[in-house]
Amino acid sequence: MAGGRVQLRDLVKRFNETTAVDGINATITGGEFFSMLGPSGCGKTTTLRMIAGFERPTAGEILLDGTDVAGVPPHERNVHTVFQNYALFPHLDVSHNIAFGLRRHKVGKDDVRHRVQEAIELVQLHGLGSRRPQQLSGGQQQRVALARALVLRPSVLLLDEPLGALDAKIRKTLRLELKALQEEVGITFVFVTHDQEEALSMSDRVAVMSHGRIEQIGTPAEVYEDPGTVFVADFLGVSNLMDAEAIGSPGGGCLVKIGEFTLRAGCGDLDARGSVKVVARPERVVLLEHGSSQENCLPGMVERTVYIGSSVQVMVRLATGATVQSSITNTGSTEGYSQGTPVSVHVPPAALRVLGGAHADTSRAEPDPLQPEQAVGVGG
């Protein structure tokens, strides 16, 4: 489907003295699955509501296929929204819920019947057209809400945490279905979520937001593997963030001092000097026998292990006083990592990223690696 390009230019939204959206810029290409990800209060839902027309910007432009729609009412935009509560009509069956918008647009009866049936097939609700919403599961209700929006053939579909009310297992199934559906219909999806796993698993690109601003836009791999700021590194997944001193780069990379130990970082701001933050993901951190002579090692002691099914998270207190986490694939045994076991923590240079200069500034407290909810990567 042609069109569906959204451009946000210097977009601002203030509520009295509070700035909810603070001058953001982004271009969403037609047919893209684009997610806005961030904690509660970061401005993502307010941005979505401005694209939908439910909120009017204080300043800036919202361009839909090149036309500024910032002052256009919602019903005059070729944009539709699916909300977290689905907003289905309880007195109407599935078919009539889906047909509601078409009838308001005075589409002919035969066309309505054909398009409703097409939408039912698209979202895999075969044989359920005569049921009322209360007779459906949460996942089926979500599909009805999607069908009701898609039947109107919008150029952009906005989704405001549509999976948030579902249990974890259904959400994982529907993530796959939602991405497959978007690829099939080929329209632009703008998806708002605080759940990093949702954003990373479905999106073509992700905008990570904080305090009304976009911290970074990139593919899921880019924002996870190459975070541009401490906030992005900290918010996405579990990150081993440590204070360090960047002292030079002889032999490639950047030498950093963490306490009394010198390590080589192979990515990030390799030209940084002075106080920096360094980050390494738990799945890249390797635990070796205590006293290992391998480079880029720090001595430490196992403080705790957390079993989360597919992997085991091992918390290690370093000799520097910092706590880091190593993620180990579950092979059926965690022998050798009991509390108090001395180990060497190996961080390969390619896994150690320098966040220097402005990127090292953060008002956010570092995550406590001993929290199980962070060990399993729950965002927001």
- Per residue in 246-264, pLDDT tens? 998 777 889 999 999 999 9
266-297: pLDDT as tens digits:
999 999 999 999 999 999 999 999 988 899 99
Q: Which amino acid is at 275?
A: S
Amino acid identity at 123: V
Segment 3-16, tens digit of pLDDT: 899 999 999 999 99
- Give the relative orientation of helices 168-185 and 109-122 as an angle to the nearest 10 degrees: 130
CATH 2.70.98.10 fits 6-223, yes or no: no
Q: Quote the percentage of the chain above a pLDDT of 90.
A: 65
Q: Where are the domains of the chain?
A: 6-223, 226-375
Burial 204-240 (b: 16+ CB within 10 A, else e): bbbbbbbbbbbbbbbebeebbeebbbbbbbbbbbbbb
349: tokens are: 């240079």
Half-sphere exposure of 244 (CA within 13 A, CB side): 31
Contact 94, 124 (CB under 8 A): no
**Start-to-end Cα distance in the chain:** 33
**pLDDT for the residue numbered 368:** 36
What pLDDT is attached to residue 335?
A: 67
Q: Is the pLDDT of residue 165 over 70?
A: no
pLDDT in tens, 135-153: 998 888 888 988 898 888 8
What is the structure's pLDDT at 16?
A: 93
Rounded Cα gap, residues 312 and 327, in angstroms = 6
Question: Does residue 374 have a pLDDT over 50?
Answer: no
Class (C level, CATH) for 226-375: mainly beta
Check residue 334 and give its pLDDT.
60
- What percent of the chain is modeled with pLDDT above 70? 92
pTM of the predicted model as reported, rounded to 2 decimal places: 0.84
